[in-house]
Amino acid sequence: MKNLNIEFEFLKSALATDSLINSNVAIQSWLKSMNENANTRVEQIPLDKLRQWSIEPDTGSVVHDSGKFFSIEGIKVETNWSNLTQWEQPIINQPEIGYLGILVQRRNGVLHFLMQGKIEPGNVNVVQISPTLQATKSNYTQVHKGRRPLFLEYFNGEKKVRVLLDQLQSEQGARFLRKRNRNIIAELPENESIDLPENFMWVTLGQLKQLIKYDNLVNMDTRTVISGIPFGSFSTNILSFFLALNHNSQINGRLLNSALNNEVYLNSFEQIISWITGLKSRYDLKVTPKPLKSMSDWRFDGNSINHKEGKYFSVIGVNVEIGNREVVSWDQPMITPAQEGLIAFIVKEIQGVYHFLAQAKLESGNFDVIELAPTVQCLTGNYRTGFNEYSVMFIDDVLQARPENVWYSALQSEEGGRFFKEQNRNLIVEVKDDFPIEVPEKYCWMTLNQLSSFIVFNNYLNIAARSLISAICF
């Protein structure tokens, strides 16, 4: 089960402060120059006027002429999870597994990640830092006759590389119907050099994690890939020895201990599995197709598809022109949220090790009833005055945390290829002795090491939890 070699290389790349190929200043100026040269125009147009897309007369679904790519369909959801036992909603159906691939190479003895500056129509900032390869099956099989994606050959088996990570990970369960992507990290041999297009840049894992502290700079696809990186498991003794050796450095020893220590925890691995088994056994999720046209709460108003009370999100149409030198243009439907969202992990020191409060969350598009989510995950409309249809547990602990207890706070975007300027406030907040260890049925304290053990098995941690974990610096 161990592969200490790879895990050690990743850890070194996360902690390295010298041996960097590109300085932080160089990365910032690379981003600045791309933003200045970028050419983007995204204009909202009526859904039924999109080139190559149409609204099916019978169902109201929004579909691409090729029958591939993705579609917006209607579903009916039935569950015994909460008081809301059924609802209808539009959802993105994209039954293809895409690639999110990062190429890495050992340079100056440290793993560097090949990142791409990429413009997506939904991005808040123009350019975001993206994986080396980001391709749907329609992309890489060239259904819509675009160019072959760069660097595809390192991920589809054409070129010989060492695969360091290769996981199936879920997308947003409230928006995507059982969608998953293949998250891959592949290592280029040290002696092999590649031509670097100007919108690509080598950075260490530590640098990437520093960039995640900024608002909307590192895209969702990058965050999900790096969230799955394993750093290894060690006993308390070995870790103490390691940390003693490094006590003068900038390393956050207590967080590293939560990530690497597999001996101290509140709940054993068996207890966590049992907690998940119990919830999956007691609660049902039944999802059936339901024509968008016949929904009473959602309607196409001649322009977009909206909830009748303006809640949740809308499906809009956009006409896009994007490019650096070469400009491409297309139309597509996108999802735009009614409000900003909030995702937050509460962290507490228990038995000397930081524990994260995981929430079991049922979402309509989940593959297997529930996934592990952050402590808080909601639309801000859910707790701000005006909507307030239900209370959000632990919201006050998160929003009223003292500044010195807020470890991380940034606005992060959802994937800009499907979501139009959708961003979530990402927070990690430490709570102290006055916060109880005893928590309700749908919550469970886990160390970072335990969360990481679950990530590798598909459909355990949801994308919001993974987004927060990607931001953790040691």
Q: Which two tokens stand for residue 141?
A: 């099989």
Cβ distance to a second copy smaller for residue 274 or 388: 274
Nearest distance in Å: CB 89, a second copy: 21
> Cβ(264)–Cβ(353) under 8 Å?
yes
Cβ distance to a second copy smaller for residue 3 or 246: 3
Q: Quote the Cα angle for 299-300-303, to 5°.
A: 145
End-to-end Cα, the chain, rounded Å: 24
Q: How far apart are CA 390 and CA 83, in angstroms?
A: 10
Cβ distance to a second copy smaller for residue 272 or 472: 272
Nearest distance in Å: CB 8, a second copy: 13
Nearest distance in Å: CB 166, a second copy: 3
Cβ distance to a second copy smaller for residue 28 or 274: 274
Cβ distance to a second copy smaller for residue 170 or 314: 170
Q: Which two tokens stand for residue 174?
A: 């409230």
Nearest distance in Å: CB 382, a second copy: 30
Nearest distance in Å: CB 254, a second copy: 19
Nearest distance in Å: CB 311, a second copy: 30
Nearest distance in Å: CB 460, a second copy: 8
Cβ distance to a second copy smaller for residue 206 or 232: 232
Q: Which of 420, 395, 433 is nearest to 45 (CA)?
A: 420
Cβ distance to a second copy smaller for residue 123 or 459: 459
Cβ distance to a second copy smaller for residue 183 or 314: 183
- What are the residues binding a second copy (CB under 8 A)? 1-3, 6, 95, 97, 163-168, 182, 230, 233, 262-263, 268-271, 273-274, 277-278, 280-281, 284, 286, 367-368, 449-450, 453, 456-460
